[in-house]
Amino acid sequence: MHYNMNIKTLITGTGIHSCLGTNTRQLTEALRTGKCGLHHDPRRKSSGYRSDLCGNVPDVDDHVLYGLSRAQLQCVSQPTRYALSAVQQALLQAEISPVMLRTQRVSLIVSNDSTAEEMMQVGEVMQRRNDTRYLGAGAVFRSLNSTVSMNLASILGIHGLTLTVSAACAGGGHALGLGKMLIETGQADIVIVVGAQETGLASMQSFDALGVFSCTHVAPFGKERNGLAPSGGAACVILENEHAFSERIHDLNALAQLSGYGFSSNGTAICTPDGRLEAVCMNNAVQNAQLEHTQIDAVLAHATGTPMGDKAEAEAITSCFPLGTYVVATKGHTGHECWMAGVSQVVQAVQMLQYDFLPGVVGTDGCDFEMLNVVCDTFDFSAQHILCNAFGFGGTNSSFIISKPY
């Protein structure tokens, strides 16, 4: 297996289904105007949650499922529906046809780490009926962690690698990194990268038990930060080999480039962040991109609004980058999108590069870290390189750099 790091990994399509919108136009407008996609869901308190604050993610329109057979519909879970919405947008933007999906060297990598709602429903049926025949033939395909990748692969007709990455909230970043590796090693010309996160009542109950959810608002890097808010949906990014892209299409420009990927693991407590290893992760991404730290125009931070997590990341960023490097934090807009967060951040970064702006933080009244240059108000800015962070339980860290394509 030979790596060719001189081959550019281009981003040619993006899609989003989230609390900020069901397409990238709505997402861009929400980021520019400081829209918050969170709300208080009274069903959560009645279901035993300590916090009822969460992302207000819209249901998927029926037209997204048009053309699926009855057998396919039986297997489609909620995160798969979200994913189909995002994937369809991205494929349309990249001008990738159904025929191409079945005949070209296309792979699919999905970040997903739970199907709690489906598992809960299985348990309820078994408790009532005590007979597996009442579960139906589609239950197993809705309840496996690989539900999104297996359903998308069969619906789209993918013949390359199909894989689910289970790495908590860093999974999206690692999925992107693996996609980049497939292209650099010549094993794929197109990689569809998806992040999906369920939003049912069962999906975040065990997370809420940790006491890390805010009951009021999300304040990334804020002095008053007191926790995160769960959110979800799906995001999709199409990665392509630059040469294959130029051969298949001549009148379409790439949106951006995935220029760098880095990773690390803390190797200590399962839920305690370590700024030193987060810094290693960011440094690895800069090195992989063959850039200097001074060339990074902005950091799109993980910054979920937790006291310990934001502190560790703030220390990591300041140890890596020069004072004055812009720091963007969007979890006040979106909440924490967990398994889809890394891919969602790429979609956000692409919009920032395309439309030359950096969004101001939402929910934060005064930054807690003087050494950080957190963007407080949206302003026009033409960035060339944006480094994104996605960190997860177990101390798994991912960083990735999104650059203008040419």
Residue 266 belongs to a domain: yes
In a domain, 1, yes or no: no
pLDDT score, position 1: 64
In the predicted structure, residue 5 carries a pLDDT above the cut 80? no
52 and 128 together in one domain: yes
Q: Do 25 and 55 fall within a single domain? A: yes
Residue 11, number of CB atoms within 10 A of its CB: 26
User: Model confidence over 22-36: pLDDT tens digits?
Assistant: 999 999 999 999 999
- Same domain for 232 and 280, yes or no, is no
Portion of the chain with pLDDT greater than 70, in percent: 100
Q: Is residue 232 part of a domain?
A: yes
Shortest CA distance to 41 belongs to which of 196, 219, 229, 195?
A: 229
* Residues 58 and 171 placed together within one structural domain of the fold: yes
Q: In terms of DSSP bridges, do strands 396-403 and 256-265 run parallel, antiparallel, or are they unpaired?
A: antiparallel
When the pLDDT of each residue in the chain is averaged and rounded to a whole number, the result is 95
Q: Looking at residues 121-139, what average pLDDT do you find? A: 86
The Cα 3–Cα 186 span in angstroms is 8
Domain end among 206, 226, 248: 248
Q: In sequence order, what E strands does 169-269 have?
A: 190-197, 233-241, 256-265
30-44, 70-84, 127-141, 303-317, range with the lowest pLDDT: 127-141
Of the residues 215, 248, 281, the one at which a domain ends = 248
Looking up residue 356, the CATH number of its domain turns out to be 3.40.47.10
φ, ψ for residue 200, nearest 5 deg: -65, 165
The pLDDT of 277-290, averaged and rounded, is 98
pTM of the model: 0.96
4 within some domain: no
Give residue-wise pLDDT tens across range 52-109.
Answer: 999 999 999 999 999 999 999 999 999 999 999 999 999 999 999 999 999 999 999 9
* pLDDT tens digits, one per residue of 368-402: 999 999 999 999 999 999 999 999 999 999 999 99
SS3 string, 5-35, reads CCCCEEEEEEEEEECCECCHHHHHHHHHHCC
Asked if residue 3 is part of any domain, the answer here is: no
16 and 89: one domain?
Answer: yes
Measure Cα distances from 227 to 42, 307, 313, 376 in Å.
19, 7, 15, 19
Residues 384, 295 share a domain: yes
**What average pLDDT does range 224-234 have in this prediction?**
97
Residue 17: φ, ψ to 5°: -140, 100
pLDDT for 257 equals 98
Q: What is the mean pLDDT of residues 270-282?
A: 96
Dig out the tokens for 376 from the structure: 């407080």
Looking at the structure, do residues 44 and 142 belong to the same domain, yes or no?
A: yes
Looking at the structure of the chain, the number of domains it has is: 2
Where are the alpha helices (H) located in 185-274, listed in sequence order? 205-208, 242-248
The answer to whether position 167 is within a domain reads yes
Section 190-215 average pLDDT = 94
Task: Render pLDDT for 317-331 as a digit per residue (tens, 0 to 9).
Answer: 999 998 999 999 999
Q: Assess if residue 392 is contained within a domain.
A: yes
> Of the candidates 223, 248, 273, which is a domain's last residue?
248
- pLDDT score for 318: 97
Task: Please check whether residues 301 and 192 belong to one and the same domain.
Answer: no
Q: What percent of the chain has pLDDT over 90?
A: 86
77: containing domain: 9-248
pLDDT value for 138: 85
Same domain, residue pair 78 and 37: yes
204 and 289 together in one domain:
no
Band (286; pLDDT cuts 50, 70, 90): very high
Nearest-angstrom CA–CA distance, 365 and 375:
12
What is the full DSSP assignment across 310-368? Answer: HHHHHHHHHHHS-TT-EEE--HHHH-B-GGGHHHHHHHHHHHHHHHTEEPPPSS-SSBS
Residues 155 and 28 in one domain: yes
- 2 in a domain, yes or no? no
Same-domain pairing of 241 and 268: no
| Cα separations in angstroms, 404 against 137, 284, 303, 383 | 46, 20, 24, 8
pLDDT given at position 119: 80
Tell me what the mean pLDDT of segment 342-354 comes to.
98
Give the pLDDT score at 167.
96
